[in-house]
């Protein structure tokens, strides 16, 4: 499970411009667009034993190109496990259409790794979430609360 996260991080970093997802429920161009700071603030309040960052050096190449910004969440961070047990990249785009394109790019990365994006890739409105490994229920819930998936 953690090996998948490491491989995903490497491939995502290597395949700039690729992305994807498993589809979301919001298709209206008039959907309310999320902004980065409120999402980051929510993640910092909601994710227990985690670390949230928006540093460019911590983001993959797809996330660095996000129109409205991106954040990386590390779950299960402790003294013994400083890099955490799982990771989620939250990408906010300027429109629902841009988010669909980003979702497709991430989907391509997962498939290039020989895996399925099912359960790892989510989209809602202008937000795309890519998990490094299958998330625990509480990890998915914490992110969902903040991006309203």
Average pLDDT over residues 50-63: 95
What is the reported pTM? 0.78
* DSSP string for 70-104: EEEEEES--SS-TT-SEEEEEEE-SSHHHHHHHHH
Q: Which residue has the higher pLDDT, 28 or 116?
A: 116
Q: What is the per-residue pLDDT for 32?
A: 80
Contacts (Cβ under 8 Å, ≥6 apart) of 109 = 8, 11, 12, 15, 18, 19, 20, 62
User: Could you give the angle at the alpha carbon of 102 between the alpha carbons of 36 and 48, nearest 5°?
Assistant: 45
Residue keyed to tokens 């890099």: 83
DSSP lists the bridge partners of residue 16 as: none
- Answer yes or no: are the C-beta atoms of 129 and 88 closer than 8 Å: yes
How far from the centroid of its chain's Cα atoms is residue 111's Cα? Answer: 16
Closest by Cα among 49, 90, 45, 47 to 72: 90
In the structure, what pLDDT confidence band is assigned to residue 12 with cuts at 50, 70 and 90? Answer: very low
Average of per-residue pLDDT values in the chain: 82
In the structure, what pLDDT confidence band is assigned to residue 48 with cuts at 50, 70 and 90? Answer: confident
The pLDDT of residue 29 is above 70: no
Q: What is the per-residue pLDDT for 148?
A: 84
Residue keyed to tokens 């590390």: 74
């Amino acid at each position: 499970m953690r090996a998948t996260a490491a491989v995903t991080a490497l491939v995502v970093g290597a395949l700039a411009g690729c992305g994807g997802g498993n589809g979301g429920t919001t298709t209206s161009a008039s959907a309310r667009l999320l902004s980065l700071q409120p999402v980051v603030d929510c993640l910092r309040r909601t994710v227990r034993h985690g670390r949230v960052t928006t540093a460019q050096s911590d983001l993959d190449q797809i996330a660095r190109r996000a129109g409205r910004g991106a954040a990386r969440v590390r779950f299960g961070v402790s003294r013994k496990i400083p890099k955490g047990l799982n990771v989620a990249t939250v990408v906010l785009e300027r429109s629902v259409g841009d988010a669909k394109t980003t979702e497709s790019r991430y989907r391509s990365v997962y498939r290039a790794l020989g895996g399925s994006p099912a359960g790892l890739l989510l989209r809602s409105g202008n937000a795309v979430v890519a998990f490094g490994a299958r998330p625990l229920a509480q990890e998915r819930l914490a992110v969902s609360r903040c991006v309203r998936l």
